[in-house]
Amino acid sequence: MNRRVLAVLLENEPGALSRVVGLFAQRNYNIETLTVAPTEDATLSRVTLSTDGSDEKIEQITKHLNRLIEVVKVLDLHEAACVERELMFVKISAQGAERAEVKRTCDIFRGQIVDVTAAAYTVQLTGESGKLDAFLRALDRSAIIEVVRSGVSGISRGEKVLSV
């Protein structure tokens, strides 16, 4: 499947996000990840969502997003070079000899340990989604207690800007 990341500028109004999310359900499109927050201009929110589908399907999604009255602009970040990152916290059971091993794996992936107890580490990791997946694979599966991921956020490289 063709994974794509769309950035959407949206009027920062109550109910606007529900129209975006509703659209995906109504038209049988898939949302893999979704992040949203206000921009530097408080009247606008920026949504980054990742989805999958053929080029034709992505074009339809883009058109239907643009049709929503509160959507100001839509950009397919994969149309040009972009930077994508995701934030992840993993709570890992770590006792005795395991503690050093977890710490080493964490260092290899440039993760940070943000909380420690006698029995567990909480690791923070940022990077492209594939790196986060790889980190999880590198851990002993049974040691993973809890995982929370922010979903993808992204921005175009170079001079290209998504703004009003």
Partner 1 sequence: MSETLSGADMLVRALQDEGVEYLFGYPGGAALHIYDAIFRQQKVEHILVRHEQAATHMADGYARATGKPGVVLVTSGPGATNAVTGIATAYMDSTPLIVISGQVPTAQIGTDAFQETDMVGVSRPVVKHSFLVRDCAEIPRTIKTAFHIATTGRPGPVVIDVPKDTTDPAITAAYDYPESVSLRSYKPAKRGNGRQLRKAAKALIEAQRPIIYSGGGVVQGNAGPALTRLARRLGAPVTNTLMGLGAFPGDDAQFIGMLGMHGTYEANMAMHHADLIFAVGARFDDRVTNNPDKFCPEARIIHVDVDPASISKIINADIPIVGDARSVLEELDPLVEAELAKRSKQQEGGDAGKAWWRQIRGWRDAYGLDHAMKPREDGVILPQQVIQSLYRTTGGAAYVTSDVGQHQMFAAQHYKFPEGRRWINSGGLGTMGFGLPAAMGAQFAYPEATVACVTGEGSFMMNMQELSTCLQYGLPIKIICLNNQALGMVKQWQDMQYGGRHSQSTYSDSLPDFKTLAESFGHVGMRIDHAGDLDPAMDEAFSAKLKDKAVLVDVWVDPDEHVYPMAIKGGSMCDMVLNKVTTSQQGDYM
E-assigned strand segments in 12-117: 33-38, 44-52, 71-76, 82-93, 112-116
59 binds partner 1 (CB under 8 A): yes
Closest CB to partner 1 among residues 97, 161: 161
Whether the Cβ atoms of residue 19 and residue 11 lie closer than 8 Å to each other: no
Closest CB to partner 1 among residues 42, 164: 164
Tokens of 78: 């994969």
Q: Which stretch binds partner 1 (CB under 8 A): 9-17, 77-85, 99-107, 117-125?
A: 9-17
**Which has the closest alpha carbon to 53: 20, 87, 28?**
28
57 binds partner 1 (CB under 8 A): no
Closest CB to partner 1 among residues 63, 110: 63
72 binds partner 1 (CB under 8 A): yes
Query: For the purposes of burial, counting CB atoms within 10 Å of the CB of 50, is it exposed (0-12), middle (13-18) or buried (19 or more)?
Result: buried
DSSP 77: G
64 binds partner 1 (CB under 8 A): yes
CB of 163 to partner 1, least distance (A): 11
Residue 69, helix vs strand vs coil: coil
Positions in the binding site for partner 1 (CB under 8 A): 11, 14-15, 18-19, 22, 26, 56, 59-60, 63-64, 66-67, 69-72, 164
